[in-house]
Amino acid sequence: MALDNTPKRVFKVVGTRPPRPDGIDKVTGRALYGADVSAPGMLTAHILRSPHAHAEIVSIDTSAAEALSGVKAVVTAKDFAPQDDDFLMDVLDNCMARDKVLYDGHAVVAVAATNSAIAKAALKLIKVTYKALPHVTDVDAAMTLDAPVVQEGRSLETVPEGMSQNVTSHCEFGHGDLDAGFQKADVVVERSFTTAATHQGYIEPHACLASMTADGKADLWCCTQGQYNVRDLCSAALGMEGSQLRVTASEIGGGFGGKTTVFIEPVALALSRKAGRPVKIVMSRDEVFRATGPTVSSSIDVKIGMTRDGRITAGEAHLRYSGGAFPCGTVDMGAQAAFAAYDLQAVRTLGYNALTNRPKEAAYRAPGAPQAIYAVESVVDELCQQLGLDPLEVRLKNAARKGTRSSYGPTFEDIGLVATLEAAKAHPHYSAPLAEGQGRGLSAGFWFNFGGNTCVTLNVNTDGTVGVTEGNPDIGGSRAAISQMAAEELGIPYDKIRTIIADTSALGHNDVTDGSRVTFSVGLATIKAAQDAIAKMCSRAAQIWGIDEEAVVWKDGAAEPAGPNAGKFPPMSLAEIAAVSFNTGGPIAGHHEFNADGAGVSFGVHLVDVEVDKETGATKVLRYTVFQDAGKAVHPSYVEGQMQGGAVQGIGWALNEEYIYGEDGRLQNPGFLDYRVPVASDLPPIETVILEIPNPGHPYGVRGVGETPIVPPLAALSNAVSRAIGTRMSSLPMSPPRILKALSKG
């Protein structure tokens, strides 16, 4: 679907680095985040959460809390509309437990009061009687037949007979004859891996303000990656019509996928409905860790065969993921992504999801892919070590390219993997010498990228400026990129354009900001909306000049006659046309709405050097370089930011971050002290190399870039550490105690 046939377009605005539109507000503290909105008469709510990993709720007595002066409303699961749809019911059950609590931190009762201290005091007056049930938090344990069953009757038909009821889904991908493939191999390596659940770790805890009036109309302000999704989920939960609920997304302090669902929003609405006053809920960090989505925990077996000269003959992976206490489809994406970087004759991946007594998984950057690719890339690295082969050459030899039938089915179009590997090979980092005790790791990574439902309006103002109204919260710089694409298409300067994010009543539906879709899809819709506005402006010029519409073209921000035969008129700029628009038919606006296709997959390669202190097991990251195909980097600084941010989150995941559960099934580390994300001084400068292999599905060649960069770090780090210590690591995180233990085992 090439929309622009001009080869090698010369860009004026796209590819430059204008200042970010949200920068000044953010550094001066003026930006309004989820917790910053207030309303007259507002109440504050707090939520009582389960102290048990798994328990039946025998009774809830809220009478004493309700009697406390200042308490205005109390809600439990009973205050929400039952759902026919399993997905909606799960989302709601996760917001407020119904008959059972399914994990430590599961919400049970919410109280709104005139201030926070009263709401907290009221929580202490609530008597919940629980009947504790046996629990399971480990994915492999959950799949055994004698494991406690987290939820009954949730297995899909795809699950093979005879498995634990905790197994909710099963998937299989691949092609070719595995047995024949493994027979051709000179070496076969088979290994098992585990990865811990990790949290997105956004700085801003979930926060919202809900206000419902007596006639059933409601407004909701919240930090979210998708206000339309919030509207749909909340209106269903409250039994309201979508048009009666207007959701406005605040400025967002990070999401990384974790803000693509609801946790407190339906609760605040239900409290507001009961109290007849606005209700604000702000989660504490403890609540964020215990009750919002971490990523899946996983246990994976990988088997790969290779010939002596480095050709992969067959690859197989068995993936067991747990998305917590609710069915979760993330393993499907892991099973599809596992071998995506390779052109294989024989490949098969099997995936299972199992229920555990952990919080419900929420998306986290490229959900499911980092774990699977970590396991595959670790085994490839081990094969390279065993055969004495260069890991980059081996990846080049087996790399997927245009025309490759991917391991998950589709045949690749233009992809940038080979170019990205070549860039890594040519980079000085790859050939820099390593000292004793240091190791270099390499990993490729992949993500699908999505398009999806998108709706954009582009308003041409009478003063010659332009407002772009779009519906996707900006979590990585999309407002700047969208303004740049509008400026490029319209031929006017970047600073004449302001892009804003609309509430749910101002535009048609927009899918959530996820799947690295916004710069691609909203950008594409903006280009098309600009083209729509251009067509209208050309028509206005034609009208003024008294010539045919077809005889007018748009060039450098102005309408002009198509050629000498069309007439001799000086060009009319956007500003000139806009200034007289009231006399030529009224305001001018362009629109575009579509379900975007052609997002274009993205590949990245990460290189990392580490040094391991063999007496303490501490890993120091010495040097890190990210290579990634961006298709076209609209705002290169933001692209680099995504590449660096993904690497940093991946370093945390690889080295220290993990959900730690005690024997009692309770989360041991619900805070940033013991849930260890990297701090600035843990990190080296992260160098970036952007490759631009245009995506044929976008007129400027844009591909999504936000998710791919978290995929390679896990294996890159594990490969580097394994080489540095001379022992293969197979469990994440590689915390110092784990490394020291591996060293002592030799």
Binding site for other proteins (CB under 8 A): 120, 286, 615-618, 655-656, 660, 668-669, 673-674, 676, 678-679, 681-682, 735-737, 740-741
Q: Strands 43-49 and 279-282: what pairing?
A: parallel
Could you tell me the smallest distance in angstroms from the CB atom of residue 197 to other proteins? 14
- Give the three-class secondary structure for 600: coil
Which one-letter amino acid corresponds to residue 288? V
**Toward other proteins, which CB reaches closer, 617 or 704?**
617
Could you tell me the smallest distance in angstroms from the CB atom of residue 119 to other proteins? 13
Could you tell me the smallest distance in angstroms from the CB atom of residue 121 to other proteins? 11
**Toward other proteins, which CB reaches closer, 448 or 675?**
675
Could you tell me the smallest distance in angstroms from the CB atom of residue 664 to other proteins? 13
Cα→Cα distances 504→220, 475, 655, Å = 10, 18, 40
Could you tell me the smallest distance in angstroms from the CB atom of residue 62 to other proteins? 20
Backbone angles phi, psi at 460, to 5 degrees: -95, 115
Q: Is 276 left (phi over 0), alpha (psi -120 to 50) or beta?
A: left
**Toward other proteins, which CB reaches closer, 120 or 217?**
120
Contact partners, residue 451, CB within 8 Å, separation at least 6: 515, 517, 520, 521, 524, 595, 596, 597, 598, 599, 697
**Toward other proteins, which CB reaches closer, 333 or 667?**
667
Could you tell me the smallest distance in angstroms from the CB atom of residue 655 to other proteins? 8
Could you tell me the smallest distance in angstroms from the CB atom of residue 384 to other proteins? 29
Could you tell me the smallest distance in angstroms from the CB atom of residue 198 to other proteins? 15
- Give the three-class secondary structure for 298: strand
Q: List 688's β-bridge partners, or say none.
A: 626
**Toward other proteins, which CB reaches closer, 568 or 745?**
745
Provide the 10 A C-beta neighbour count for residue 212: 26
Question: DSSP E strands: which ranges in 250-311?
Answer: 279-282, 297-306
Could you tell me the smallest distance in angstroms from the CB atom of residue 46 to other proteins? 11
**Toward other proteins, which CB reaches closer, 462 or 669?**
669
**Toward other proteins, which CB reaches closer, 90 or 138?**
138
Q: Contact, 705 vs 328, CB < 8 A?
A: no
Contact partners, residue 162, CB within 8 Å, separation at least 6: none
**Toward other proteins, which CB reaches closer, 56 or 674?**
674
Secondary structure (H, E, C), 38-76: CCCCCEEEEEEECCCCCEEEEEEECHHHHHCCCEEEEEC
**Toward other proteins, which CB reaches closer, 53 or 605?**
53
Q: Which of 157, 622, 191, 116 is nearest to 386 (CA)?
A: 191
* Cα gap 502→219, rounded to integer Å: 14
* Cα gap 413→135, rounded to integer Å: 47
